[in-house]
Amino acid sequence: MKSIGWSSVTMNNTRHPPERIPRSSQPFRFSGAVLGLLFAATILAVTLIFSTLQNINREQQLMEKFLHDKGEAIMRSIEAGSRVTMMQHMGVGDPLHTLLNEYAKDPDILYISISDIEGDAGRRVGRPPRPPFQEEELQTIMAGNTTITRLDKKAGVFSLSKVFEIDIAPMRMHMHAPGTSRTRPGSSGKKILSVGLLTHQFDAAREQDVRHAIFMGAILFLVGSAAFYFIFLYQKMRIASSSLANIKLYTDNVIESIPVGLITLDADNRIVSCNRQTENLFEMSFASLLSREIGQVLPDCPSSVKDSCSSLLEKETECTTASGRLIPLRLSCSPLFDDEDQEIGKVLILRDMSSIKEMELQLERSRRMAALGKMAAGIAHEIRNPLGTLRGFAQYFGSRAENDEGSDKYAELMISEIDRLNQTISGLLQFSRPREPQLQRVEIAELFSKTVSLMAADLTSKDIALHWPKTIGTTVKADPDLLLQVLMNLLKNSISAIEAGGEVTFACREEEQMVLLSIADNGCGMSEEVRQKMFDPFYTTLKTGTGLGLAVSHQIVEQHGGSFEVETAPGTGTIITIRLPK
């Protein structure tokens, strides 16, 4: 079915629910593009999560390394600065505390403290105080020159602690009189130096990175959601497209398989689409029919079809094929609507009535032949007995007229005419009361051979050449005598229609469950009027014919369940084909 080009059409104003169509059993499958998009989205999400966690972990490590290095630098500076300051300010206040206060001015330093080994607080600056040491931490510090660190994420403090050694006693003793000592208890020996550094800048940067990661995750989620939504729409579109394709194929197959021609017209009565049966009907391709006005293709198309077919319309018309053959048609017309109930064209259905017309003719012929058969039976019975009496008297008077040559001649003429009339009556009786066929296997080659033998004299008298297949293995179940009579009647007609030196050909072929016997001649042929009447009783174009030979032959073939096909035209010869079931 060629595409109509309209989105939605219906053939009447009544809306019906969509009919179910056969569905394919193919399983649902994602397309390659959808699988690729899902894979890319999964890889992107995993990469973003992994990189975010890795960045946070790396920032943590960098922060701890930076604060550790800064704390170590401050501790070394305090150790070095404490010695120099105490040497320069001996006896003047507490230079170490002053030094600690100077370092504590750094906004990143929360506290600096120097405490005893036992953990008792000594000098310190800043708030809050250093958290107390655990026993394990004191043992680690005293085990060697090792700095221990502690990160308090809740308080935002990174602390470092190590052993701090300073001895100013000899210097103080050198500055006082001999024998006196001004050294303070605890002013020399091992102490614990602790520095607490704030991590708020790093925490703020990490929070910003986390917010950025969350923001990017949200964007990815939205993009992923949109992608999945589009995937969903894409799958729905694929399903809808597949359903539409299935519906189109289903509709096309249904339309192409119907045994009638179907044409769709637009609002200007131009052909928009048609099925293959229409192409076969007009013996034209779709390209030749497309966009042509329906009146150009069907000159006898009723004007009611061209103007309007608001209601279901059926008309009888005829069409002429590309080869000039005239075909009777029954044309049905119905309007075509879109989904808004606007008429956009028409749908024409063309039914070839040739076979129906032929069946009607055959039925009418059968009825006429049945009526003639009944009448012929009665007439033949009433006429045959008087004919016998007349023939007897003719013979009697002929035998008495010994010296009268004229009377003897007339008597012989009367007897021959009575015999001819009796032969006609015998044909009538055979036509009116045909005997039942005695079916048996008949070799077609043998049947052809016997027919040629019986008609050899007639063929020779007119110098007619007969061609027939001598070696064929085809057989048919039939009555050999009746079938022989049919072939002889057909051959007689061919001989009558052929001039001297003509040709006749017997042929045989098989077609599915049928055997086709054909007789072809190159005689004068027949007109259409003669062809339609050739099987009628008493119809003949010959001066000496009775018109019963072909009628009886038709009757015999019908008794065998067969039929005749005739191809003829004036001046082109005739081919008569007998179709018999195997």
Q: Other CB atoms closer than 10 Å to residue 278's CB: what's the count?
A: 21
For residues 57 and 64, is the Cβ–Cβ distance under 8 A?
no
Regarding whether 166 and 142 lie in a shared domain, the answer is: yes
For the full predicted model, state whether its pTM sits above 0.75: no
> What is the per-residue pLDDT for 5?
41
> What is the per-residue pLDDT for 506?
93
Q: Could you tell me where the beta strands, DSSP code E, fall in 270-406? A: 271-274, 313-320, 326-338, 343-352
**Domains in the chain, number:** 4
> What is the per-residue pLDDT for 12?
45
Regarding whether 391 and 253 lie in a shared domain, the answer is: no
CA 176/CA 454 separation, integer angstroms: 173
Torsion of the alpha carbons at 450, 575, 517 and 362, rounded to the nearest 10: -110
Regarding whether 481 and 408 lie in a shared domain, the answer is: no
- Which of 399, 432, 465 is the last residue before a domain boundary? 432
- Report yes or no on 16 lying in a domain: no
- Report yes or no on 11 lying in a domain: no
CA 231/CA 33 separation, integer angstroms: 9
> What is the per-residue pLDDT for 505?
92
Regarding whether 221 and 115 lie in a shared domain, the answer is: yes
Torsion of the alpha carbons at 120, 123, 127 and 133, rounded to the nearest 10: -30
Regarding whether 413 and 522 lie in a shared domain, the answer is: no
- Which residues span the domain enclosing 412? 357-432
> What is the per-residue pLDDT for 31?
62
> What is the per-residue pLDDT for 220?
78
Regarding whether 234 and 119 lie in a shared domain, the answer is: yes
- Which of 325, 352, 379 is the last residue before a domain boundary? 352
CA 134/CA 132 separation, integer angstroms: 7
Question: pLDDT under 70 in the chain at which residues?
Answer: 1-34, 83-94, 117-135, 138, 142-145, 166-189, 300-308, 310-313, 369-370, 372-382, 384-385, 387, 393, 396-408, 410, 420, 423-424, 426-435, 543-546
CA 28/CA 227 separation, integer angstroms: 20
Look up the CATH number of the domain holding residue 313.
Answer: 3.30.450.20
- Report yes or no on 98 lying in a domain: yes
- Report yes or no on 238 lying in a domain: yes
In angstroms and rounded to an integer, the radius of gyration of the C-alpha atoms of the chain is: 61
- Report yes or no on 22 lying in a domain: no
- Report yes or no on 263 lying in a domain: yes
Regarding whether 42 and 113 lie in a shared domain, the answer is: yes
Regarding whether 151 and 114 lie in a shared domain, the answer is: yes
In the block, which residue shows the tokens 């991590």? 199
Please report the DSSP string for 108-166 in residue order: TEEEEEEE-TT--EEEEEESSPPPPPPHHHHHHHHHTT--EEEEETTTTEEEEEEEEEE
> What is the per-residue pLDDT for 8?
41
- Which of 322, 352, 382 is the last residue before a domain boundary? 352
> What is the per-residue pLDDT for 264?
87
Regarding whether 222 and 143 lie in a shared domain, the answer is: yes
> What is the per-residue pLDDT for 515?
92
